[in-house]
Amino acid sequence: MKSPCAAIAARGFVLNLSDTEIADLIDVANALADVARTVTLQHFRTADLVADNKRPADFDPVTEADRGAERAMREVLAKRRPQDGIYGEEYGQTPGTSGLTWVLDPVDGTRAFISGVPCWGVLIGLDAGDGPILGIVDQPYTQERFIGGFGLAELRATKTTPLRTRQTKSLTDAILFTTFPEIGTPDDRKAFEKVRDQVRLTRYGLDCYAYALVALGQIDLVIEAGLNPYDIQGPQAVIEAAGGIVTTWDGGPAHKGGRILAAANKDIHAAAMALLA
């Protein structure tokens, strides 16, 4: 397996992006996060926030924060990158001509959002067709922006901190996060529990913030199931840029979603994958 930094660097190679274009892409990614931050915070913890249900069988909420933030990001892209495709959670796929697609989740963690929890986020991935070459996990309420790609791996908050994953070698020393028991099939859950039973500490329910903590070198593993491309491409780029590995449970490419294993390094990735198989 290539080193993770090599994996992210190798993607989109055929597009032959110039330094000027790379700088523009980074600038646009930040502009997207900026507008999404503004729109989402206008709705957060407001009395008139209405959660509609996208999936009547259970409760899959969506709000005007989700929709408004995606519309605002689409307006930025229409102006600055009309040649790129868009794949957003709320408004679907818009084709482009450049070979690049912006993969957007305007509010990852809508359940957290409607509950007033601080840890929902805005996810932005720039897909080169075979996976993200740039990603942002933005945390509007805590004003933390995790960005990775094109040589960048940073947490930008009141100060800027380099992102670097941990070097934990053994599951018995590892910290694992997941959104189980909320998602996944019973079989998925059984596989997850095999890892849970080995690690030092398991924590639940943090949505995208958990991936940011892998990149920040605070935790070692995130295991989830049933993800969409827009749930993972932003976090994937950030973790890979920080030295971690993100694949499906069987080691395949992660950018299409599904059952996802994000790990701080190749040792802990291999140990978890052996139990999930």
Site of interaction with a second copy (CB under 8 A): 45, 59, 61, 111-112, 114-119, 141-142, 175, 177, 181-182, 200-206, 209, 213, 216, 218-219
Phi and psi for 232 in degrees, rounded to 5?
-120, -25
Tokens in use for 150? 């094109």
Q: To the nearest whole angstrom, how small is the minimum distance from the Cβ of residue 200 to a second copy?
A: 6
Instruction: Answer for the pair 119, 109: CB distance below 8 angstroms, yes or no.
Output: yes
Closer CB to a second copy, residue 70 or residue 220? 220
Report the residue number, 52 or 250, with the smaller CB distance to a second copy. Answer: 52
Residue 118 CB, shortest distance to a second copy, in Å, is: 6
Query: Of 61 and 258, which has the nearer Cβ to a second copy?
Result: 61
Nearer to a second copy, 10 or 157 (CB): 157
Closest distance to a second copy from the beta carbon of 127 (Å): 28
> Taking the complex as a whole, how short is the minimal distance between the CB of residue 55 and a second copy, in angstroms?
13
- Residues 110 and 120 sit within 8 Å (Cβ to Cβ): yes
Q: How far is the CB of 276 from a second copy (least distance, A)?
A: 19
How many residues are listed for the chain in this entry? Answer: 277
β-partners of residue 184 are none
Query: Shortest distance, CB of residue 147 to a second copy, whole angstroms?
Result: 17
Q: Which is nearer to a second copy, 3 or 115 (CB)?
A: 115
Q: Which H or E run includes 86?
A: strand 85-88
In 3-state terms, the chain is what percent helix, strand and coil (to 5)? Answer: 35, 25, 35
- On the CB side of 172, CA atoms within 13 Å amount to 0
**Sequence-ordered alpha helix ranges (H) in 11-163:** 19-43, 64-80, 110-114
Shortest Cβ 111–a second copy spacing (Å): 6
Nearer to a second copy, 205 or 253 (CB): 205
- Angstrom distances, CA of residue 21 to CA of 24, 25, 28, 81, 101: 5, 6, 10, 11, 15
Distance CA 125, CA 107 (A): 13
> Could you write out the DSSP letters of every residue in 164-214?
-------GGG-EEEE-TTSSS-HHHHHHHHHHHTTSSEEEE--TTHHHHHH
Judged by beta carbon, residue 117 or residue 275, the one nearer a second copy is: 117
Distance of CA 53 to the CA centre of its chain: 23
